[in-house]
């Protein structure tokens, strides 16, 4: 254990359910601390674990892991159901990198970003070409069971499968600081359909009688063995699968563009198997000897001890980690660096000149439209990693050389 984490985790006093935090209490914004207390006081909460990248969220804190008995709060997953990351190592090295502006343009043409979408859905034929498992027809059969309000969005959802969206979502090329190997990394979620599904269920939960006297109605829950719970669990699992498939498609598109870029230079590129994991999701897990409903909102699972990606901000890079399955954290770790200021505050605080300085050496957008994603708006990724040295083992530190943003 490092000196930085020697006194972690800390306990948040005065809560009904135990709260353990992998960062000093004084580093948590007051509004987020109050939000954590409100969550821990819900009668269904068995325990709350707080990751070192935590910050204020809608209803539930980003960077929170909540174990509940017989209940689930849709706000504890969030509106970007299944949001997560993927990573893929290539056999390229730093010395192979050239003409990254042309590569960025090709990636931006291949993967729709922001509010854009594919002109037509990606079918099984294209999936096979991209090296992605087929079976989309069977997956889409489940769409008919989703809430009636979203059924008219199927055509849009099909076109948005395999698209990045905006905000903090990205596609990057990074270089491993140890061996100069080049990695592809990606951050994306369930796009508009995930948001629509989440909002339907959050509104339904708010209207239930047992939630009427909650301190924060955004934390409204569904109870086990009720139609509301069954419907939510079914729909959130569908959205999680949508997000995972979407990342797999984009990894395939990125792999194709990278291969094409270097094939034009006489270089064949080899790729390892990809990493693909959620950090906004629900699962049933054994906690303290009981099966409970666990929600992670801005947190990854380390239960299987596999590899995962913990990204920083635009231009800062990421860490490839191996999970240590620490039961004290409900086998969880942070999902990234975490914001230290809101998007509005970032736009007020920084200028384009700041963006140019903080992304020097990175092939990326340098315009005012991405100032809210400037590295200075985020926490120090390296400090976040030090705080969770008992949760994950760093395998590689990746430095960003190319970043595509929505």
Using an 8 Å Cβ cutoff, are 61 and 42 in contact?
A: no
Q: Which residue has the tokens 């006297």?
A: 213
Give the burial string for 66-87 (b: 16+ CB within 10 Å, else e): bbbeebbbbbbbbbbbbbbbbb
Check 187, 261, 278, 335 and give the catalytic one. Answer: 335
Rounded CA gap, 54 and 66, in Å? 13
Distances (CA, A) of 11 to 7, 25, 96, 384: 10, 9, 48, 18
Rounded CA gap, 392 and 320, in Å? 10
Rounded CA gap, 117 and 120, in Å? 8
Rounded CA gap, 31 and 205, in Å? 23
End-to-end CA distance of the chain: 38
Partners of 294 in beta bridges: 67, 283
Distances (CA, A) of 313 to 93, 168, 218, 336, 374: 22, 8, 28, 8, 7
| Annotation says 335 is catalytic | yes
Structure tokens at 367: 């315009």
Q: Tell which residue, 197, 195, 226, has the closest CA to residue 211.
A: 226
The residues assigned a catalytic role are 335
């Amino acid at each position: 254990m490092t000196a930085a984490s020697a006194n972690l985790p800390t306990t948040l006093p005065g809560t009904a359910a135990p709260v353990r935090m992998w960062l000093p209490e004084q580093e948590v914004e007051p509004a987020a601390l109050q939000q954590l207390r409100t969550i821990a006081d819900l009668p269904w909460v068995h325990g709350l674990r707080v990751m070192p990248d935590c910050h204020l969220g809608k209803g539930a804190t980003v960077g929170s892991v909540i174990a509940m008995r017989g209940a689930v709060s849709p706000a504890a997953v969030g509106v970007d159901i299944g949001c997560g990351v993927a990573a893929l190592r290539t056999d390229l090295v730093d010395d192979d990198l050239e003409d990254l502006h042309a590569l960025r343009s090709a990636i931006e043409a291949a993967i729709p970003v922001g509010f854009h979408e594919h002109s037509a859905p990606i079918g099984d034929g294209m999936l096979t070409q991209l090296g992605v498992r087929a079976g989309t027809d069977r997956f889409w059969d489940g769409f008919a069971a989703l809430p009636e309000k979203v059924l008219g969005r199927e055509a849009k959802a099909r076109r948005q499968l395999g698209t990045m969206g905006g905000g903090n979502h990205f596609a990057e090329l990074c270089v491993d600081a140890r061996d100069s190997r080049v990695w592809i990394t990606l951050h994306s979620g369930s796009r508009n359909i995930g948001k629509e599904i989440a909002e339907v269920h959050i509104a339904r939960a708010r209207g239930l009688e047992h939630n009427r006297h909650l301190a924060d109605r955004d934390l409204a829950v569904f109870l086990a063995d009720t139609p509301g719970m069954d419907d939510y669990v079914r729909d959130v699992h569908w959205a999680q699968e949508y997000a995972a498939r979407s990342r797999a498609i984009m990894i395939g598109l990125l792999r194709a563009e990278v291969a094409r870029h270097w094939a034009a230079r006489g270089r064949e590129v080899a790729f390892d198997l990809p990493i693909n994991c959620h950090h906004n999701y629900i699962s049933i897990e054994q906690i303290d000897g009981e099966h409970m409903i666990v929600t992670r909102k801005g947190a990854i699972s380390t239960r299987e001890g596999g590899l995962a990606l913990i990204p920083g901000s635009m231009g800062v890079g990421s860490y490839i980690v191996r999970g240590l399955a620490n039961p004290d954290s409900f086998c969880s770790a942070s999902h990234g660096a975490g914001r230290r200021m809101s998007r509005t505050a970032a736009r007020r605080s920084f200028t384009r000149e700041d963006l140019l300085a903080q992304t020097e050496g990175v092939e990326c957008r340098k315009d005012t439209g991405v100032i809210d994603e400037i590295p200075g708006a985020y926490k120090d990724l390296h400090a976040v990693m030090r705080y969770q040295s008992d949760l994950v083992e760093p395998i590689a530190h990746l430095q960003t050389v190319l970043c595509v943003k929505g």
